[in-house]
Structures are given as structure tokens and as C-alpha cells.
Amino acid sequence: MTRWHEISANRRALAYILFSAVLLGAMLFLGIIPTRQQITDAEKKTERLKARIEKQKIFHPLYTRLQEKLAAEQETDVAGQMPASGTKGFTIENVSKVLSDMAVSAGIPETSFSPAPESMRRGSDRLLVHGQMQGNYLNFRDFLTGLVTAPDFQTFEMLEVQSGTRHPNYRMQIWVTVK
């Protein structure tokens, strides 16, 4: 009878060991492996954030200098070329001259701007201006930067760039606020 007891005890021990192995396997697959995947994802996200922080460390001084330069340009209001807030801004009489002066100061001497007075509706303060210019892309970019930072600039209706033999030609229609 003791022999059957020993065999029964061995079977019971094997059953406990098998049950424990299944339980340990379930814990491994349901707990540890998904947690490891989450840790890996978190490490990848940390690396991406570190890369973004490094980019910001590199570009922040440049951004600061550009902000300072823009603030200085708005404060100085070079010879009335770019209307600053608090000044008279665009009027129907001076809109062509102000835009031409802005283009010349950006390095684009060949400019032509003409307002379309019929675009103003009764009680409206918006005016459509047609413009044509010729110059290099960098100077045109500087002009556009100055234009879109002007407080009385509204929107572009049309902007067309055509390649020329010497320099590209630019045609635009813009809306400005007139006083």
C-alpha cells in the first residue's frame, strides 16, 4: 500500500509542477512580454524626444536672432516702407508706393503695383492690389516675409511665379486693409 501511496504522491507532485509551469508560462506571456514591448516603445519615444530637444537647442539661437531682427525692423520702420502698427498704414493713395518701396528695399527694383479701386465695396476697408515684379528668389522671399508681417496685409488672392531668362517674374494679387 505504501508503494501506491508513493506513486500517487509522485503523480500529485508532477501535477503541481505541471500546473506551476503553466501558471509561470501564462504570467510570462501575459505580463512580462507586453511590459517589455511597452518599455521598448517608451525608449524609442525617449530617443525621438531627445533628437527634437537637440534640434531645438541648435535652432533656438537662430530663432531668437530672427525674432530680435523682426522686432528691430518693425520698430525702426525704415523710411516708411513697411507700415508699422500705430502709423497711418496703407491708403488708396500710397499703397502702390509703399509696396514698391518694400520691394526695392528687399532688392527687387523692377516692380509695378496698381490698386483696383473697384474692388472696394461700400463700407469695406479691403483693397485688391495687382503686382508684377522681376528679381531673384531670395529677394522675393525677403519681400514676402516683409509683406506678410505688415499689419495691414490681409491675404493673397493669386501668386504666380514664371521662370525667365535672366530672373523669374512674379505676378500677384493681394488684399490689404486701407484707411
SS (H, E, C) 78-94: HHHCCCCCCCCCECCCC
**Which helix (DSSP H) or strand (DSSP E) does residue 171 occupy?**
strand 169-177
Query: What is the spatial distance between Cα 138 and Cα 163, in angstroms, rounded to a whole number?
Result: 14
Q: What is the pTM of this model?
A: 0.49
Cell of 45: 519615444
Model confidence pLDDT, tens digit, residues 134-175: 888 888 888 988 888 888 888 888 888 888 777 788 899 998
| Nearest C-alpha neighbor of 143 from the set 111, 121, 120 | 111
Q: Could you read off the pLDDT of 17-70 as tens digits, one per residue? A: 999 999 988 887 887 777 888 888 999 999 999 988 888 888 888 778 878 887
Task: Tell me the CATH class for 81-177.
Answer: alpha beta
Give Cα 71 to chain centroid, integer Å. 20
Tell which residue, 78, 113, 99, has the closest CA to residue 143.
99
What is the Cα–Cα distance from 175 to 170, expressed in whole angstroms? 16
Strand partners, 111: 133
Angle, vertex CA 116, rays to CA 115 and CA 120, nearest 5 = 115
> What are the φ/ψ torsions at residue 123 (nearest 5 degrees)?
85, 0
